[in-house]
Amino acid sequence: MRITERQKEILSVIGKCIILASALVAPNILQLLKPKDHKAKYQYKRTIQKLYDNKIIYLFGERIELTKKGQALIRKIQIEEVQIKLPERWDKVWHLVCYDIPEDKKRERDYFRRTLIRLGFKAIQDSLWVYPFDCKEEIAVISQTLEISPFVAYLNTDYLPNQNKLIKYFNL
């Protein structure tokens, strides 16, 4: 299913409100999302209706509840928002992420790999990736969100074979 930017924005707000409310049911959340501009009211209603039609949310008057599909989409949105903060200088430490994710979590493994690529990691081997800057917290958030953290390891080293190629690759 293709999700539009507007749907992503609404789901992101719903997800943040649900986290703040510490529950899957957030009363009166729709009030926070309603547009103040009368022209946008139609688009808002249409977007909410599409989320409902696609079984991403349930509507109960002014209450909203996420379906399992909606919860999965919010997790995906949260992962897409993860960015690694880059320091001004490289501390000459390599940060490695390795994983051995079982076959029954193939979807999560493939999504994790695509996320590493999006963040700029370089593959050294099939499930061993390197990055020049600290990203332990970001990897922890991603792996916990995907529920694969027992299968992911984060390591640091100050030397890698062929690190001169990596230094050139990352423009360090």
Residue 100: which CATH number?
3.30.70.240
Q: What is the mean pLDDT of each run of 10 residues along the chain (172 residues)?
A: 68 59 47 62 76 80 77 78 82 94 93 93 93 92 90 94 91 88
Q: What is the pTM of this model?
A: 0.68
Kindly list the distances between the CA atom of residue 19 and the CA atoms of 16, 25, 71, 103, in Å, as whole numbers in the listed order.
5, 10, 11, 30
Do 12 and 71 fall into the same domain?
yes
Report pLDDT for 81. Answer: 77
Report pLDDT for 32. Answer: 53
- CA nearest to 97, candidates 44, 38, 157: 157
Per-residue model confidence as pLDDT tens digits over 127-165:
999 999 999 999 998 998 888 999 999 999 999 988 999
Do 126 and 73 fall into the same domain?
no
- Coil, strand, or helix at residue 129? strand
Residues in the chain: 172
CA distance 60 to 40: 22
Report pLDDT for 100. Answer: 94
Range of the domain at 73: 5-80
